[in-house]
Structure 1
């Protein structure tokens, strides 16, 4: 997760690849250069690693400088209008670079591909190819056709594609933490969300391939994996060789990955309140290497608004799940998503959201104003009728309240000891290590020469900000 705990969920910072790639324990110096920028959720970053792997096998290495690239891809997010505006601006930068290098190929990947393909390709002529999340295997073929002078599109969605057989190339990796995609798509039809339309129907990867990827990562020196899915709690997989009809649930999968090795930390994201079962919570409680941290988006504290959002749970249901977490995993960190100013939201609905923040006291939250996305159920059914200034005022109240609880939650960890995996050096100083504790709080502490990145250490919290716990290693 991000080091700052209170911020917009839209995470637009570009992540760049490395110049040489290590795959299957062989260092291969490929001749063609690929530059990828990823925007949005962790799934997009994981998808970029799949793309890099596919193209690596076809003669590409990655570069951190787009002017040096033969092929530039921008992996897009359609969650908010602002993200689309930034992507369009970035594509203009790339088009300028292409004017100096006419052979350069520019492509758009991911969630914007289907909806904006005609704009990007034909109207604005910003790109040479547009490829959706289920068509990445076709990239070498599409690049070849573009080199012959055509513009190409493949945004077909699949009911089967999971990329389970592809070993991702870890971009910008610290060699310690990694994402593992366990499923793709989403069957929830939240009225504000484009994901079911851009990523297709839900399908789960084989448990065997997930466990193998986790084991391979551990053997390569990684010490933490985050299992990713739009809704991990709905993971279900029936192996072809199982005649008894037994289905592997998310709770089962968590246990299987945790069993890879006690030194492999396991996290996951994202959960859906309607599907978070007690079985998952008891599995977390059973395994010391499954982190006590759950991201459980509430979106609104008003049952009326939740119904309009088609979230399929009520305020009361959400509170029941919070109570179950507190009971079964008492020291669990809980984070959330909150939308301000959804269609028809009243002041009372807004007060309900503020009150649920008071009730739960989240460790941190991703908070943003409602942004209507074309093609969604909300765009078709409801008027975006809350004035922008009202949305912003309500968001400010939400952020201020949550900031106070983020500080309070971290203050409660001061004076306590925490098991922390050293992930790297602090952004501010190479004299300090940083890593996260079990509850997903970022911890910063002075370097001790006897420890290195990838080690587990015990840190006592001494002070904190609203986003970071500050402490020192105790022997």
Structure 2
């Protein structure tokens, strides 16, 4: 590959995809290519894709058709698809639609330079083989976009859970964990580069296992790298959440008091069809235990509306679960059937679209009401906010997040992105806390003072 070629990566979907794009950045730069600032400036445009829902795939298809139009005027442009859609659509996207030149699955990123050479030789290039070993542990991600404040670190790949609605095990393969040493080395480098927040990523992070090193052990060791970096993680599974991790979170000030704990549904019958190996009662007991061990912990969740055979009673049980937990945030979606999943093979996607939309609307409306109340309860409380950037509405205000993952907006004063600022909440909406800044602070200072108080 000629060193004067430039590449641009467009990333869709989850945090794991953004982390993967940073791995591809590293591989291509090591091969002599340079990142372009825009797709128009690039010789190679790679689209990192998501298959988790139909809407995500539709966005990718539309974008690829736009890029095909650009290729008509720029004959030298190479267009490729990376990630979760690659294996599912490789034949259609290359042979039928003639949209791309290269298709690469999540475990074949090391092969991209060779595949690009095949394209230069006039051939279409495909590698979508899944691996039982690949973790990219020896590759240092190159973060060419972002705010230089928050970073994602992938700790494992794949998933063994086989939930009936989920395509991830088929697009990302079986679970395998990175060596803990390589993860801590990456965290140490991020610390030296000045990052203030790191999120550890995996399809099921609490399944992480490196010899005797568990996920709880990894979180503890991560917290010790730098007491002024705060840590989050996503996503755990309710079925095997490590209780010892809760005590570690409670004890370590830089482990955020925020847990994303996907429920998906609120009835035992629905959870059974979804192949979620816990009951409503077990899930609620776990929530209670989390609240008991970590006072003030906040929760987010995933909810699916209109899964196969969902009855009105099951829908109402999902609404009641959400109300009983009182989530601070929820990611809510209407079910979209995915090929190759158990639900696709075994069940009928028989809930009418208008019913799905109505149930999703009810779920969203209720969640917004819950969030409004939860945020009103924050008025008068003090939080340590990591400033992420300027508020969307005003250059005179800054925006950041509490360790409980709530968005806070406050006057700029003399604070800058990357600062930790102690604030007092003065008002709220269902999505945002409004606050007055008190002073620039630190994790050690703020939580040390809280313990003393």
TM-score bin (small chain): over 0.9
- Identify the residue that residue 197 of structure 1 maps to in structure 2: 170
Which of 325, 338, 346 is the equivalent residue of 1:360? 325
Which of 103, 116, 124 is the equivalent residue of 2:76? 103
- Structure 1, residues 104-147: CA drift from partner, whole Å, max 9, x if none? 11000000000100000000000001000000000000000111
- Identify the residue that residue 182 of structure 1 maps to in structure 2: 155
- The structure 1 segments of at least 4 consecutive aligned residues displaced by more than 4 Å after TM superposition are none
Which of 443, 467, 475 is the equivalent residue of 2:431? 467
Looking at secondary structure, tell me which structure has more helix per residue: 2
Please tell me the root mean square deviation across aligned C-alpha atoms, in Å. Answer: 1.1
CA displacement at 1:430 relative to structure 2: 2.1
Instruction: Say which SS state the counterpart of residue 356 (structure 1) adopts.
Output: helix
Corresponding position: 1:139 with 2:112 = yes
Report which stretch shifted further, 294-303 or 169-178. Answer: 169-178
- Taking the aligned partners of 2:389 and 2:36, their CA distance within structure 1 comes to 22
- Taking the aligned partners of 1:433 and 1:212, their CA distance within structure 2 comes to 32
- Identify the residue that residue 134 of structure 2 maps to in structure 1: 161
Stretches of structure 1 that go unaligned for 5 or more consecutive residues are 1-29, 239-246
Which of 85, 91, 96 is the equivalent residue of 1:112? 85
Which of 192, 198, 201 is the equivalent residue of 1:219? 192
Corresponding position: 1:321 with 2:286 = yes
- Identify the residue that residue 257 of structure 2 maps to in structure 1: 292
CA displacement at 1:31 relative to structure 2: 2.6
Corresponding position: 1:274 with 2:239 = yes
- Taking the aligned partners of 1:362 and 1:321, their CA distance within structure 2 comes to 14
CA displacement at 1:426 relative to structure 2: 1.4
User: Map of 1:29-40 to 2, 5 A cutoff?
Assistant: 31-40=4-13
User: Map of 1:374-393 to 2, 5 A cutoff?
Assistant: 374-393=339-358
- Identify the residue that residue 263 of structure 1 maps to in structure 2: 228
User: Map of 1:84-99 to 2, 5 A cutoff?
Assistant: 84-99=57-72
CA displacement at 1:100 relative to structure 2: 1.2
- Taking the aligned partners of 2:236 and 2:375, their CA distance within structure 1 comes to 23
CA displacement at 1:429 relative to structure 2: 2.1
Corresponding position: 1:410 with 2:383 = no
- Taking the aligned partners of 1:171 and 1:342, their CA distance within structure 2 comes to 38
Instruction: Say which SS state the counterpart of residue 89 (structure 2) adopts.
Output: helix
- Structure 1, residues 52-101: CA drift from partner, whole Å, max 9, x if none? 11001112222232122110111111111121111111001111111111
CA displacement at 1:172 relative to structure 2: 1.8
- Taking the aligned partners of 2:351 and 2:144, their CA distance within structure 1 comes to 40
- Taking the aligned partners of 2:262 and 2:91, their CA distance within structure 1 comes to 33
- Taking the aligned partners of 2:96 and 2:434, their CA distance within structure 1 comes to 51
- Identify the residue that residue 340 of structure 1 maps to in structure 2: 305
CA displacement at 1:330 relative to structure 2: 1.6
Corresponding position: 1:75 with 2:40 = no
- Taking the aligned partners of 1:348 and 1:307, their CA distance within structure 2 comes to 15
With the length of structure 2 as denominator, give the TM-score of the two structures. 0.95
Corresponding position: 1:55 with 2:38 = no
- Identify the residue that residue 235 of structure 1 maps to in structure 2: 208
With the length of structure 1 as denominator, give the TM-score of the two structures. 0.91
- Taking the aligned partners of 2:133 and 2:377, their CA distance within structure 1 comes to 46
Which of 365, 372, 375 is the equivalent residue of 2:337? 372
Instruction: Say which SS state the counterpart of residue 172 (structure 1) adopts.
Output: coil
CA displacement at 1:434 relative to structure 2: 1.2
> Greater relative contact order (Cα 8 A, min sep 6): structure 1 or 2?
1
- Identify the residue that residue 311 of structure 1 maps to in structure 2: 276
- Identify the residue that residue 456 of structure 1 maps to in structure 2: 420
